[in-house]
Chain A
Amino acid sequence: MESRIIRAVDGIDFTVREGDCFAIVGESGSGKSTLGLSLIRLCPGDVSGEILIDGVNLLKLSEDEIRKFRGSKISIIFQEPSSALNPVMKVGDQLMEVFTVHGYSKSEAYQKSLQLLKTVGIPEAEKRMQTYPHQLSGGMKQRVIIAMAIALNPRLVIADEPTSALDVTIQAQILNLLKNLSQSYGLSTILITHDMGVAAELCNRIGIMYAGKMVEIGPLNSIFAIPLHPYTRALMSCIPRSLKENLKPLPGHVPDLSNPPKGCRFHPRCPYAKEVCTLEEPNLEKIDDRLVSCHRVGEI
């Protein structure tokens, strides 16, 4: 079995291995969701490069083929639990539909759905099959959505802010569930989040996005220990951690992506920017265990 599951999008070069969790972290409007959607070709804009899953290039598949691919090989979970479920359809029927659409009989679908609800930790699963989404709490809804996403044993799940709408206690629960799923089933995950802390709970590799570009990619632990890109550094010192450690805010805000700054997109906010940064866009370059795009990375 090919262990490398996914690779490369448009100058954004990353690999997710089997059972691994890769985090895409960036502030609002940095293009995380767009990237997530383009990975499964749900994004209208053109994507160049290649997206390889188990050696198959998604960009070369026909519409029909990609439709089959979604759900069975790769699936996506969105932030807002309420919008992802049909409000007028019983939870059980929605789950069963995933199976019947793929050729399972009604009774097979029922058994499988029941099993799934148990897998994602929903108590009294039989009863829950008969309830409507609004009768479930936010955390329960998110579990049902996760159940639907993993129903057909995909190789990769893309989770776009799966816990941002939830209380911190429920968030911990859902992260725990995702962690268990990847450990027990070798499921690979791409976690999209604006929250470094959430990324750290679940992931072993991380890519930091700024204004539509990846600026640093590598093992989470080493990036958190010694961030190399000026933006990653700035982000780390913006996080209110334990008590009363002083914050060093980064001035300004994320630029509008319809008109990003020339040269390095971070240069207007970067304390290390030099002339070259305003003129030339830096490329991702390999430095030790990671990729960094900064003209001055060796000097600072």
Chain B
Amino acid sequence: MELIKGENLSKTYNLKISLTTSIKVKAVENVSISISEKEVFGLVGESGSGKSTLGRLMLFMEKPDSGKVIFKGVDLSRAKKDEVKDARRRMQIVFQNPDLSLDPRMKIYNTLKEALVCCKYKGDFVERIKSVLEEVGLSSETLNMFPHQLSGGMKQRVALARAILAEPDFIVLDEPTSALDVSVQAQILNLLIDLRKKLNLTYLFISHNLSVVSYVSDRVGVMYLGKLVELGNCDEVFNEPLHPYTKLLISSVPALYMTKKFFTQNHTALAENGEENPSGCRFFKRCPYAKELCRVKEPELDGDKHKVACHFA
């Protein structure tokens, strides 16, 4: 069963580069993804490829320039205010840096209470908060503490607790473990997997770390300069990638994490920041397989279950 769908989402930003000039950045361009109930959808790509922007669009935190978001069958761009509000509560987000998302002057209890007030919770606040705290592996002593008294991992657990208090169906996890040590990252990853099972959650898991994404995801999408270039089951995409860019990404991961290498030649030369190719495939300048067609014609994301946007894949 489909839980949420983004259809042909696009978002362009005006980026000021000086007082008088600004350039248009196509952060997300014509991206469609559909996520089923209880699924973990991973999103990978280099910095600036538009992962976070797509996350915000899916949550309707930001209105897309075009395209729509359908959550539980409701088209959010046409829904009434109340409906959108209700849907927004059932969708939560957890960011990379809990320091920025937790108010440093507020005790953890108050931070969490706010989440319950927001969703108009009717029952006993203390009881509910304590039970969620236990769910994320924190003791109730945490409630009287301030964020600075907690470690990075504990803060991320608080951020998760706050998200869960709203009883969401869908959570966007935007680089949730990127600021954490590997030992704490492993704790949080396993916690996320447990919570999903227990609470029937659906995740959009954003990360630039391919091995982390491959560990938690059922399906993955690969983004490059605002476009989805590959989409499929996690195992397929990581074991038999079709897009040259996906192959480059996987080949660049240290062998300790991913042993597959798809380029025998010195693939690292391909990593140069390619400038955008205005008319054809965006990966054109970096692609070892590029032909004339790639320069002039943009490939469409095509395929059945395993989709790819490449003329020659």
A208 CB, min distance to chain B CBs, angstroms? 12
Task: Flag B173-187 by CB within 8 Å of A: 1 or 0 each.
Answer: 000000001111111
Docked Cα-Cα span, A247 to B187, in Å, equals 8
**Is the pair B254, A198 in contact by a Cβ cutoff of 8 Å?**
yes
Is residue A243 contacting chain B, with contact meaning CB distance below 8 A? yes
A171 to chain B: closest residue by CB = B252
Segment of A103-111, A250-258, A285-293 engaged in the interface with chain B: A250-258
| Residue numbers in B under 8 Å from A251 (CB-CB) | 187
**Is the pair B271, A247 in contact by a Cβ cutoff of 8 Å?**
no
**Is the pair B256, A244 in contact by a Cβ cutoff of 8 Å?**
no
Contacting residue for B256 out of A137, A200, A234, CB 8 A:
A200
B148 CB, min distance to chain A CBs, angstroms? 12
**Is the pair B273, A137 in contact by a Cβ cutoff of 8 Å?**
yes
Is residue A167 contacting chain B, with contact meaning CB distance below 8 A? yes
Segment of B2-10, B52-60, B115-123, B208-216 engaged in the interface with chain A: B208-216
Segment of A39-47, A50-58, A189-197 engaged in the interface with chain B: A189-197
Contacting residue for B214 out of A27, A224, A243, CB 8 A:
A243
Task: Flag B128-159 by CB within 8 Å of A: 1 or 0 each.
Answer: 00000000000000000000000111100000
**Is the pair A249, B186 in contact by a Cβ cutoff of 8 Å?**
yes
Task: Flag A230-269 by CB within 8 Å of B: 1 or 0 each.
Answer: 0000110111111111011111011000000000000000
Task: Flag B226-249 by CB within 8 Å of A: 1 or 0 each.
Answer: 000000001100110000000011
Docked Cα-Cα span, A6 to B40, in Å, equals 48
Docked Cα-Cα span, A245 to B47, in Å, equals 27
**Is the pair B257, A176 in contact by a Cβ cutoff of 8 Å?**
no
Contacting residue for A249 out of B187, B211, B238, CB 8 A:
B187
Contact residue range for chain A? 35 or more
Task: Flag B198-221 by CB within 8 Å of A: 1 or 0 each.
Answer: 000000000011111011000000
Docked Cα-Cα span, A238 to B187, in Å, equals 8
Docked Cα-Cα span, A239 to B258, in Å, equals 11
**Is the pair A247, B184 in contact by a Cβ cutoff of 8 Å?**
no
Is residue B46 contacting chain A, with contact meaning CB distance below 8 A? yes
Check A242/B258 contact, CB under 8 A, given A167-B47, A247-B215.
yes
**Is the pair A253, B271 in contact by a Cβ cutoff of 8 Å?**
no
**Is the pair A243, B182 in contact by a Cβ cutoff of 8 Å?**
no
Check A238/B256 contact, CB under 8 A, given A137-B273, A168-B210.
no
B245 to chain A: closest residue by CB = A169
A30 to chain B: closest residue by CB = B181
Q: Which of A169, A195, A244, A248 has the most chain B CB within a 10 Å cutoff? A: A169
Docked Cα-Cα span, A203 to B46, in Å, equals 25
Task: Flag A135-176 by CB within 8 Å of B: 1 or 0 each.
Answer: 001010000000000000000000000000001111111001
| Residue numbers in A under 8 Å from B15 (CB-CB) | none
Known: A201-B254, A244-B215, A253-B151. 12 other contacts (CB 8 A): A167-B47, A167-B271, A168-B210, A172-B252, A172-B268, A194-B181, A200-B254, A240-B212, A241-B258, A242-B259, A243-B215, A249-B186
6 residue pairs of the A-B complex, CB under 8 angstroms, read A168-B253, A169-B248, A172-B252, A239-B211, A243-B235, A244-B215
Tell me the B residues contacting A by CB distance below 8 Å: 46-47, 151-154, 181-187, 189-190, 208-212, 214-215, 234-235, 238-239, 248-249, 251-259, 266-273
7 closest cross-chain pairs (CB), A and B: A197-B254, A249-B186, A240-B215, A169-B271, A172-B252, A238-B186, A27-B181
